[in-house]
Every structure is written in structure tokens, then in C-alpha cells.
Structure 1
Amino acid sequence: MDKLTAGLIIYRQPQESILVRLAELGRRVKDGDEGDKTALVNGVLGEVNRLLDIATRYGFDGNLWHSYLAFLLATVEAPFTLVCEKRGSSAGSVQVFAENDMAIFKALWDYDFAPWEKALGVRCFSVLSNYRAVAKPAQIYNKSVSDKVRELTAAIDGAKDAAAMYKNVTDFYAKYGVGMLGLNKAFRVSPEIEETGNLLEPITTTGDIRLTDIVGYESQKARLAANTEAFVQGRKANNVLLYGDAGTGKSTSIKAILNEYYDQGLRMIEVYKHEFKYLQRIIARIKNRNYKFIIYMDDLSFEEFEIEYKYLKAVIEGGLEVKPDNILIYATSNRRHLIKERVDDRPDFIDPDLHQNDTVQEKLSLADRFGLSIGYFKPNQKEYFTIVEKLAARHPEITLSAEELRAGAVKWEMSHSGLSGRAAQQYINSLLSAGKTC
């Protein structure tokens, strides 16, 4: 195995990778280096443990060795793989190196670990070749990556030679992309960015909410969807500000948009205002990728003493570097103008500021840089009842009469946050959790 891995060019692995460390252990086994057999066994079992850790994080089962190799092929970001992401397979000198690596991976795919097991007195590789994972909910593993790697694994299993394997892998890049940004749908700024330098980390559980799951707000959803559809299709689109009352579905609409358009190449990055200092680095990281990125800012607002909004203004429009065409900013806020306004901002207020109008315009200019502003406002009582009834209809176990349902909904909103879609959902949740469904 060590001679195989030493021949990799495009897919060369770092020294700490499982593949390289197993290859070194395999060399020692082959050379009969059994001076400390216990150390060799412990080394192999340590790498098996790392394989099991990957399997748990990504929900792999079946042949874990094959899943691991497919995972490597799917996640290596190199010039060749990034070009394939945009254009698919293309002829050129680099193709020779890629085909060389595929021949090596094909040999690794079919590698026989039986001599290792005989020499070391272990059977771990036999178990890994037919691994049965414990069933677990999608919330505790990265299902987005798992599904794609499983698909690639199945395709390679059916490849009769390295040429077929090369086609399977390059077709996969063209369909799904490569690396973290290709295989995941949503990201956040890494909390360890200063220590590790890792800029983004995947959000592995994003939910499956759809626009049709949001009751009401049809015109708002239609405008948001139309803008996003233009964006993913490569047409001009606007940055979007969703503003209005709390609990009306602003954040939920944006989460639904991600699910609606993910399979068309949409990705989303969640950024909070204290992370705005990383915006330029984020843009540099994603601007040349073959996806459309929405930078999502939830509950965006600024107090008068906060100056982060100035950096955001420059990123949206105004800096020397033009914002790339594959990036938009979607934000939600309870404030229409984002920045706190005071009574002394009114034009009839006598203020020592000689250029008071300039001060007001400075505060308003951030919101103006969102080309599309969509208002979400609290429903009236009739609309609130409609939301409650439609949500209840999704749960056949709720058999309360319309009158009982409405009476309970009124009591709920009076003791909670008032009329809103959020209050309606919370009321339905309370019925389900308490078993008060009939």
C-alpha cells in the first residue's frame, strides 16, 4: 500500500491522514517488522478507530474502507477537482496525472487486507468491509455529505476499471461539486477561527422547512422566491432585507429558500454582526466557486454606538472590489432602517449638529443598499385563526372543534407574544406535547 500512496499526485494526502498512516503500517507488516507486534496492532487499531469516527460523523455503513476512499475523492480541493466542478472532465495534460491517481485509487479500492489480519492476528478489516451502523437520526450526523458519498461509493463499486472510475468521479464533481463547500448546504463562521485559521464550518442540521409550510404571507414569499430564482439562474438579483414584526416568518422564509434552491447550486453562510470583520475573507473564499452563496444575517440591527454597519455598507456596495456575482446578502430585522433612530433625528428637532440631515442619511443609507425590502407584519385575529387552523390540520391527532381551537388560540396569544405565526405554532406544539388533541 505504501508504494501505491507514494505514487499519488493530485490526490496526495498529508502525513497525518488515515491513508498515509495505514500505508506506513502496511509497509512494516509486509517487511516483517514484528519486533514490537503489539505496537503494530495498536497502530492499526488506532487508524481503525479513526475510520469509525468518520463513519459515525457521516453515517457511513457497508464497506467503510470504500466509503473512506470515496470520501477522500469527494473532499480533496485541488485545481483539477475545482475545474471539474465548473466544467466537468476536460482533456489536458493534468488528465494524465488524474488518470494515474485513479488507477492507484482503483488498486486501493480492491486492496486485500487479509495478509495484515493473518500477520497481526486481527479481523478488524473483515468487520469494516461489511459494517452495520447503529441506526441514528439525521440530526446527529452529516446527512448531506453522507448521501453524496454513498452515491459516489455505489458508482465506483460498479466501475470495472480505472477509466470508468475516473468518469464516475469527474461526473460527481460536475453534479455536486467538491470539498466542504460542494457537499454541504449551509455554513457558519468557525468559533475557532483565530486558533486554527479555519474560516467556515458546516451546519449539518438545517431542517427541511419549505415555503409551502409557512401559512400566509404569499406575496412576500413569491417576491423572495422570484429574486432567489433569478440569482441561481445567473440573472441580476438584489440583496434582500426582510423586516417587520417578530414571529412572522422572516427567518423561516430564508431557511425555506435554502431548501427550495439547494439542488440548483444555492449555499448559505450565516454571519452575525460581531463577525463582520471576516466578511472580506469569506467573500475571497467563495467568490470563485461554482455555487451561488447567500450570506445570511439574522435579526440584524445596530444601536447608535455600534459601527459594524459601516463595514457592511462597504461590502454591499461601495468598496473598491466589486461584490462577486455569485454572492448576495439576505438579512432579517425587526427594524425597517436597521439602525436605531431617536426623536432628535427628526428634521424639526433643534440639534447642535450643523449637518443633521447628513447624520440621518448616514443611518438610512444601509437599509437603502438592500435593493429589495419585504415587510412581514403581524396578522389580524382572522388571519391568526387561519394560521392556527391550517397548522392544526397537519396533525390528524388534533380533533378539537374550530370553536375550541380558536378559544385556546386566543388564550395562548394573550399570555404570550400576541398575534403571530410563531405564537400559532407554539400553541399547536403545546397541544401536541400535552396530549390535548381531542
Structure 2
Amino acid sequence: MYRELAHLLLYSDLGEGAILTRLAGIFRDWEHGADRDELVGRIYAQIKRLLDLSTDCGFDENLWQCYLTWVLMNNQNSFTKTCERTGAGQGSVNHFAKGDLAVFRRLFDFDFGPIEQDLGIDCFSTICSYQALPKRERTYNRDISLQVLELRHRLADADAEEMFSLVTDYYRRYGYGVFAANRAFRVRREAGEAIFLPISNVDRVTLDDLLGYELQKRELRRNTEAFLAGKTANNVLLYGDAGTGKSTSVKALINEYYDCGLRMIELYKHQFRDLSAVLAEIKNRNYRFIIFIDDLSFEENEVEYKFLKAVIEGGVETRPDNVLVYATSNRRHLIRETWNDRTDMEHHGDIHRSDTMEEKLSLASRFGVAIHYSVPKQREYQEMVKVLAARQGIHMNEAELLAQANTWEVRHGGFSGRTAQQFIYYLNSLPKE
């Protein structure tokens, strides 16, 4: 195995800690007569790592080939970068890429028999013919699982030339690395760089699941589709009362437009200082990114809004064409105003407080599209309850259902889609007669 890896060129940077690199080292030491018990322990450590990865990513059947497929999907090199942007083309780099894929072709069919027989183990045979336990969807990354399993099946029956076509088609369609097989991300700052952490249990809600608000959803779709088509599009502020579906509307976009290259990065207010680092990492990728800021508002003494304001519009570094900011807020102007803000002269602080207020309020104006989500009327709330009850298979007399829904609304925060959904959850939790 280590001899095969020595022939890799473009894909050679696997990392010292990679499972494949560690296994290659084990095979090298086995051929040089290393201690057998030590070798078995080292092999089991890598098999455990492979099983853990398989659980997180939903691998099945041939875990070894799934792992190799996952390596091909995630490796970052000059070839994968080019394929993501423009496809394979006719460049000389293809010669080296085909050589590397010939190595992976041989690794796909690697014969583990000799080492298993010599060491008296069967772990490689087991992972190459594996039956995974059924898992709930939220316990693994379904997007990665589907992509790996589909591509693995096709690569398993392909020769080296066919593997080249399959892999380059994948890069052109999905790209490579963490953005290829994940929809949404959080961010962590490490050593001045933005590290993107995939959100594996993304809510699979769609805009059609959100009842009502047809005009709001239509405007959100229009702006997002223009953005995906490379047309001019605006940053979006969704504002209004709590529980009306603002956040749900934004989250639904990544489920509807993921296959069109849309990705979402969720940022919190304390991370606005990291916006420049985030933009530096994503500006040259062949995706469209929505930076999602949920429940955005600022108190009087907070200054983080200045970082966001500069990025949206007005800073020295322009916002990349493949990035938009979508934010939700209960406040139309994002900033809590006080009577002091409205007094032009103050003995302390800024001499002209009205200028300070205008600076704060100008942030909201930098969202080119502002969409209002209002509290539903009682009839709209009752219609939501009836539709949600039908979807959940709840069969009650309509008058009784609505009477209970009205009682629930009085005790739980007023008319809203959230209140209606919570009422249905409550009905589902009751013992069945």
C-alpha cells in the first residue's frame, strides 16, 4: 500500500494523520518484520477511526471503498480547484490526475488477504463487506452519505479512465471539500483563519411547509433565484413578530436550492469581527453563499454593527459577488432606540446624539430588500392549525380542534405559526385512546 501512495502526485497531500497514510505506514512496517502484536493494535486503531467516520457520514456496504471515495471528494489540490471552477478541460494536468486515479483504482481492489492471514485478523474483510445498523437521519450527515454511496458504486465498476470522468464530473457539479457535501455551516476562528464546521442535522423544511406569507416567500425566492443566476441581488432583512416564520423561511432556501450551489453560513453577533476572514475563504469558490444572521439587533452601547455595516456596503474591500447577507430581526431598524438618541444635545457622550442614531439606523438601510412578517389574524391562525393537524393525521371535530387551539393561543403567546405548531406537538403527545 505504501508503494502505491508513493506514486501519488496531485493527491499526495493526504496529511500525516490520515487513515490512509497511517495504514500505509503499518503495511511498510509489516513487510519489514515489525512486532505482530503491535501491528495488530495499530491496525485496530485505524479500523476504529474508519468505523467512527463511517458512522458520522453514513457509509455502508464497502467501508474501505467509501473511505477512498470520501478522500477523493475532499482532497484540495490544483486539479480539484480547477475542476470546480471550469471542469477538467484539456490541460496537461489531466495526465497527472489520471495517474493518481489509477493508483486509487488499484487501492479500490487492494488485496488485504496476505496481511490478514499472516496476523490472524479479519477486520479488513469485515469492513469490505459491511452491513451498517439502521440509523435515524439526524444522527449522521445524510448529504455526505448519499453522495459517497452513489459515487462509490459508480467508481467500483469503473476503470481508471472512467474514474477520471466520474470524479471530474463530481467536482464540476459539487466542488470539493467541506462545501461539496454540506448545506450549512458555523464558523470557528483558529490562528487567524476561518474554520467551517458543517451542520449535519439541518432541518429539512421547505418554503411550502411554511403556511401563509405567500407574498413574503415569493419575494425571497425571487431575490435568491436572481442571486443564483448571477444577476444583481440584494441583501435581505426579514423583520416582524416572533414565531412568524422568518428564520424558517431562510433555512428553507438551502433545502430548495442546495443542488443549485447555494450554501449557508450562520454567524453570531460576536463573530462579526471574523467576517473578513470568512469572506477571504469563500470569495473564490464556485458556490453562492448566504451569510445568515438570526435574531439580529443591537443595544445602545454595542458597536459590532460597524463591522457588519462595512462588509455589507461601504468598506474598502467590496463584498464578493457570490455572497449575500440575510438577517432576521424583531426590530425593523435593528437598533434599540432611546429617548436620548432623539435628543440632539447631550451633556455627556456624543455632542450630537441624533448623528449617532442616524449612523446606527443606516445599517438597516443597507439591506436592499426588507420583508415584513406580521402576526396572523385569528382566521389565518385557525387555518394553520387545521392544515397542520391534517398533515399529522390528527382527526378531531373541527369545532373542538379550533376551540382548543384558541385556548392554547391565549396561554402561549398569541397568534403565530409557531404557536400553531406547538399546539399540534401538544396534541401528538397526548395518550391515544
TM-score, structure 2 as length reference: 0.96
Question: Does residue 278 in structure 1 map to residue 274 in structure 2?
Answer: yes
Q: Which runs of 5+ in 2 are unaligned?
A: none
2:173 aligns to what?
A: 175
- The CA distance in 2 between the partners of 1:415 and 1:294, in whole Å, is 36
- The CA distance in 2 between the partners of 1:211 and 1:138, in whole Å, is 21
Give the CA deviation at 1:197.
5.5
Correspondence for 2:335 among 332, 339, 342: 339
Query: Contact (CA 8 Å) 1:298, 1:331: kept in 2 or not?
Result: yes
- The CA distance in 2 between the partners of 1:195 and 1:85, in whole Å, is 27
Per-residue CA deviation, residues 5-51 of structure 1 (Å, 9 max, x unaligned), is 011111112222111111121122233x04x2100111111111111
Per-residue CA deviation, residues 341-375 of structure 1 (Å, 9 max, x unaligned), is 0123347x765565344222112100000000000
Residue 267 of structure 1 aligns with an amino acid whose one-letter code is R
Residue 77 of structure 2 aligns with an amino acid whose one-letter code is A
- The CA distance in 1 between the partners of 2:412 and 2:353, in whole Å, is 40
- The CA distance in 2 between the partners of 1:43 and 1:407, in whole Å, is 65
- The CA distance in 1 between the partners of 2:28 and 2:256, in whole Å, is 49
2:306 aligns to what?
A: 310
Give the CA deviation at 1:151.
1.4
2:8 aligns to what?
A: 8
Question: Does residue 164 in structure 1 map to residue 174 in structure 2?
Answer: no
**Partner secondary structure for residue 231 of structure 2:** coil
Question: Does residue 403 in structure 1 map to residue 402 in structure 2?
Answer: no
Residue 309 of structure 1 aligns with an amino acid whose one-letter code is Y
- The CA distance in 1 between the partners of 2:275 and 2:421, in whole Å, is 34
Give the CA deviation at 1:54.
1.0
Per-residue CA deviation, residues 209-265 of structure 1 (Å, 9 max, x unaligned), is 011111111100100111001011111100000001000000000011111111111
Question: Does residue 117 in structure 1 map to residue 116 in structure 2?
Answer: yes
Residue 250 of structure 1 aligns with an amino acid whose one-letter code is K
**Partner secondary structure for residue 373 of structure 1:** strand
Question: Does residue 25 in structure 1 map to residue 26 in structure 2?
Answer: yes
Residue 326 of structure 1 aligns with an amino acid whose one-letter code is N
Question: Does residue 416 in structure 1 map to residue 415 in structure 2?
Answer: no
Matches within 5 A, 1:121-200: 121-159=120-158, 161-190=159-188, 193-194=189-190, 199-200=195-196
Query: Contact (CA 8 Å) 2:345, 2:351: kept in 1 or not?
Result: no
Query: Contact (CA 8 Å) 1:184, 1:204: kept in 2 or not?
Result: yes
Query: Contact (CA 8 Å) 1:2, 1:23: kept in 2 or not?
Result: yes
Give the CA deviation at 1:186.
0.4
- Using the TM superposition, name which of 85-94 and 256-265 deviates more: 85-94
Question: Does residue 361 in structure 1 map to residue 358 in structure 2?
Answer: yes
Residue 212 of structure 1 aligns with an amino acid whose one-letter code is D
**Partner secondary structure for residue 375 of structure 1:** strand
- The CA distance in 1 between the partners of 2:272 and 2:192, in whole Å, is 19
Per-residue CA deviation, residues 387-433 of structure 1 (Å, 9 max, x unaligned), is 1111112122x111221111111111111111111111111110011
**Partner secondary structure for residue 15 of structure 2:** coil
2:93 aligns to what?
A: 94
CA RMSD in angstroms, aligned pairs only: 1.6
Query: Contact (CA 8 Å) 2:194, 2:274: kept in 1 or not?
Result: no
- The CA distance in 2 between the partners of 1:416 and 1:374, in whole Å, is 25
- The CA distance in 1 between the partners of 2:329 and 2:68, in whole Å, is 44
Cα gap change, 1:241 to 1:393, in 2 (>3 Å): same
- Using the TM superposition, name which of 242-251 and 49-58 deviates more: 49-58
- The CA distance in 2 between the partners of 1:311 and 1:150, in whole Å, is 42
Cα gap change, 1:87 to 1:208, in 2 (>3 Å): same
- The CA distance in 1 between the partners of 2:165 and 2:418, in whole Å, is 48
- The CA distance in 1 between the partners of 2:392 and 2:294, in whole Å, is 29
Query: Contact (CA 8 Å) 2:244, 2:416: kept in 1 or not?
Result: yes
- The CA distance in 2 between the partners of 1:180 and 1:57, in whole Å, is 14
- The CA distance in 1 between the partners of 2:30 and 2:259, in whole Å, is 46
Identity %: 51
Give the CA deviation at 1:95.
1.4
Residue 343 of structure 1 aligns with an amino acid whose one-letter code is W
In the alignment of these two chains, the number of paired residues is 430
Cα gap change, 1:435 to 1:217, in 2 (>3 Å): farther
2:263 aligns to what?
A: 267
Q: Which runs of 5+ in 1 are unaligned?
A: none
Residue 136 of structure 1 aligns with an amino acid whose one-letter code is K
Query: Contact (CA 8 Å) 2:340, 2:353: kept in 1 or not?
Result: no
Cα gap change, 1:196 to 1:283, in 2 (>3 Å): closer
- Using the TM superposition, name which of 12-21 and 216-225 deviates more: 12-21
- The CA distance in 1 between the partners of 2:259 and 2:174, in whole Å, is 9
- The CA distance in 2 between the partners of 1:137 and 1:218, in whole Å, is 32
- The CA distance in 2 between the partners of 1:345 and 1:302, in whole Å, is 14
Question: Does residue 210 in structure 1 map to residue 206 in structure 2?
Answer: yes
Residue 20 of structure 1 aligns with an amino acid whose one-letter code is T
**Partner secondary structure for residue 207 of structure 1:** coil
- The CA distance in 1 between the partners of 2:219 and 2:95, in whole Å, is 48
**Partner secondary structure for residue 201 of structure 1:** strand
1:250 aligns to what?
A: 246
TM-score, structure 1 as length reference: 0.95
- The CA distance in 2 between the partners of 1:425 and 1:195, in whole Å, is 43
Give the CA deviation at 1:93.
2.1
Runs of 4+ in 1 over 2 A off after TM superposition: 28-31, 193-198, 343-347, 349-357
Residue 173 of structure 2 aligns with an amino acid whose one-letter code is K
Query: Contact (CA 8 Å) 1:29, 1:119: kept in 2 or not?
Result: no
